[in-house]
Every structure is written in structure tokens, then in C-alpha cells.
Structure 1
């Protein structure tokens, strides 16, 4: 592992692997999911969500394609978390990932994400300076192997729609990262979820572990909210619950 990759891993650990900041998320998931629920963590990164979900009582399948992070997860994840060293997409294939060595959390398989995000607020300092060939499988294949999950968390930097294109059945609960400077990615996800089933939505800002709304709202209302966000608003997760 070279110096830039080591620094990127260390940076991610400092930001995302702080046990104190994970306490609210553990409480959040414990109240949201039934004990023993099956959860897929797609884009596991340093495994913070996978560990939180496990601590909340879930059975976890963690999916991570970046070589440095998959190696870290192999060494450090609890043995009852299943690790899949691959990406997810619309079909099984090999694909090229654009990697930011110093900011690996924004590495992506989306072909134009680096170009589009590079001009958006908050991304000006990021450089996608590496390429990695990764194996891609699908959510349908994961479900065939591990069972239908109660929850899928997807954080894949603009590749969310492609991941959901590999899913042919509704799942009770799904979350995707939303990026206020790039709302079109999430708007397309809302449309895709509407094709899968009757979903309603509620956002969580950052890693707060609290829903922003007291109720779950339809796709049109959620889309209007996304369009209204100033580009400098911090990112978060948009939860979709099957009704």
C-alpha cells in the first residue's frame, strides 16, 4: 500500500470509525430494524455501518470493492459479518473504478461522476487519481445467495441507480446517500424505487441517526424537497420504506 492510499485509509478511519459518533446510529437502527434482521451494507468502506448494524442486532453482508478497504475489512470485521469483495451493478461484469487515493470515500464506478462532482461545492479539492478493475455482481445474486434483506444501505457515489437496476423485487427498507449539489442522482433513484413498489421516504442529515420529518412522504414531495436544497447543504441518507 503506497503512502497516498495509507493516508486515505487513515483519514477515513478518523472520520468514520469514531465509536462515539456511532452511538446515535446504533440506537437508530435498533429502533428501526427487528432483531435478527438481514442487512446489506453496499459500499462498506471502513465497515462503520456494518459494525453498527451488527451491534443493533442485525445479520450483515458487507460489500466493498476497493482493494485497500476490502483488505482492512478482512482483517478487522467480526467473523459473523459476511464480506463480499466486489461492487454491485446492473449485471455481472468487470468494471473500472475511479479511485481517489486521499479521499477514497468518493471513489466511484459512475463514469461521469468525477467530472460532474469535481465542479460541485465540497468536491473542489478531490482528485480521482487511480483506476482499479473490480468485479461487479448484482443485488439479485446476493439475495439468491443470502436471502431477501430487511434493509439495504447503498453509498456508492453516484452509482446508486446502477445498483438498484440489479434488483428485481421490492425490499422493506432501502437507504441511499443524497448529495445536495447533485440532486439528479437521487431523483432517478426515487423513480426507480417507484417502479419496484409503493415506497415512501424520509431523510437523515449526515450521521445524526434522526429522521428529518415526523412522517414518511411520497416520491413527488421528496423530489421537491431535494430540488429545494442549497448546494452547500450537508449530505445524508434518504430512507425508502415499502408500504
Structure 2
């Protein structure tokens, strides 16, 4: 295992890669969109020359080959190998992209310490060809409604999990319009700094709503995250690690929480997982 190596699968504009480089890691960034791959090659020219950054224009799927990529012409973040993503707003074009598997990446570059995956609906495919022996110590993936992502991670030997809001990187859900009690408490907090400070000082398990988090994105090292980042990872990700059974219950509760609010399945959360081979 390469202790200083990160795989950034779904490189996009390179903001996450820049964060990992900032932390001192070497980064292999994989991006299916050729325009974004070219953009990142220019952005990280010096890091590439120094051997700290590698940019690969390819997709990462369950099987290798050439597959149709649906490039959204209005929002790069909605481009995907999943045909259903075409229904999202904006114009798109079909392009053929060469794809590789995660084991192929590992064979060429080594097993990374951390692997970030954000490839719009195809995240689970990056896990399908892995084995417990090749699974990276830490991973993060975007949750896709209906995908057995947690179950697959458990099969691969991951034994600890965190869930974070993709917009704020906190592990607490928002207050919705139908939650009268929470809304009244939030209103009281707005009117009385004493009430808000009292609630904010409680442990997360008691306050457990994102409105009581400090303003802005969760950033333990004060890195200036933007909306195009995925946030901290591994031990630095917000929240406490959950065992597999607790993680499955928590995810079911989260789905039900958003369903009752009429928001499911459109919510954006990431899962962070730690492999059982890591000594906590």
C-alpha cells in the first residue's frame, strides 16, 4: 500500500486533487470528460513535472472497454456514463470514452491510502472488481439511491462508516418545513443567542441538526473549501465511525427522513469507509 497516494476518481476541475496535494499526497486523478482532463493537465503542470500528480483521461467502471459517455454541455457535474442522467436539465452529447477498472489502476500505480469516487451514478462500479485484499484503507463515494453501496463495502471488508452532507461536509441533516418543533427551536435560537449557544454546545447526538453547526463548511484544518470540493476524508471527516449494522440503520433512517420531507431520492450525501485492516 502506498501511504502517500490518493486516487481521485472523478477529478472534475481538480479542486479535490489540489486539496490532497496541499495535504502532501501524491494524486492520480481520473476524469472521463476530455475537456476537464485537459484543463487539469494544464492546471497541475508543475505538479505533474514533479511527479506528484498524474492525470488520466478515462472512465473507471466495472469492466474495461469503450463506453458511451453523456457529456452535459451546461454542467460538467451532471456528465455521466449512466443514460438516465440525460434527463437532467441541459443539453448533452454522446462521446466514446475508454474505460479501465480499479484493479488496473492499482496494478499500474499501487494501492492508494485513500480513494475518492464521485462519478455521477456509477460510483458502485468502481468497487465491483475489487477484493478485500485490494481494497484501499479509506474510501469515499457519493450515495446513489437504491445502490447497495454499503453492502458492497461490507463485503470488501470495510468495518467503519461515516455519512456526511455533500454540501456542508457535516454529518447532521437539515431541518425541513414540516418539522414544526425543530423550526420553533431554530426560531428561538435566532431570537436568543443564549438559546442558540446552549444548543450548539450540546454533543452532536443531542442537537443532531445541521442548523446548530458552526456556519460554513466543515473544515477541521480551515482549508477554504468551495462547492466543488468533497471535503475532509478518513479520520478528518465529520462524525464518529459507525459499525456496519449501525451504518445500515442510519442510512435507512436518513432515507426515511428525506422521504417524509418529499426530498428523496434527490439528497446528496457521501459515505466514508475505513477498512478492517486499518488499526483504529
Shorter chain as denominator, the TM-score bin is 0.7 to 0.9
1:220 aligns with 2:245: no
Following the alignment from structure 2 to structure 1, what is the Cα–Cα distance between the partners of residues 151 and 63? Answer: 20
Q: CA offsets, 1:21-40, max 9 Å, x none?
A: xxxxxxxxxxxxxx962110
Q: What's the offset of the Cα at 1:204?
A: 2.0
In structure 2, the CA distance between the partners of 1:162 and 1:227, relative to structure 1 (3 Å rule), is: same
CA gap 1:215/1:44 in 2 versus in 1, 3 angstroms: same
Q: Aligned equivalents of 1:70 and 1:214: distance in 2?
A: 33
Count of residue correspondences: 195
- Give the CA deviation at 1:170: 2.1
In structure 1, runs of 5+ residues without a counterpart are 1-34, 119-125
Q: Distance in 2 between matches of 1:226 and 1:183?
A: 11
Instruction: Show the counterpart of 1:198.
Output: 158
* Match in the other structure for 1:239: 272
- Tell me how far 1:239 sits from its aligned partner: 0.4
Residues 1:176 and 2:141 are matched in the alignment: yes
Normalised to the residue count of structure 1, the TM-score between the two structures is: 0.73
Structure whose alpha-carbon radius of gyration is higher: 2
Q: Which residue of 2 aligns with 1:107?
A: 79
**1:59-81 Cα shifts (integer Å, max 9, x gaps):** 11000010110110111113221
**Correspondent of 1:75 among 42, 58, 71:** 42
Is contact 1:97–1:108 with CA below 8 Å preserved after alignment? yes
Residues 99-128 of structure 1, C-alpha deviations (whole Å, 9 max, x = no match): 11101111111233444xx4xxxxxxx235
- The answer as to whether partners of 2:158 and 2:273 remain within 8 angstroms in 1 is no
CA contact (8 A) 1:160 1:176 kept: yes
Residues 158 and 46 from structure 1, CA distance in 2 versus in 1: closer, same or farther, beyond 3 angstroms?
Answer: same
Q: Over the residues paired in the alignment, what is the CA RMSD in angstroms?
A: 2.2
User: Are residue 98 (structure 1) and residue 70 (structure 2) matched?
Assistant: yes
| Partner of residue 103, structure 2 | 140
Q: Look up the SS of the partner of 2:83 in the other structure.
A: coil
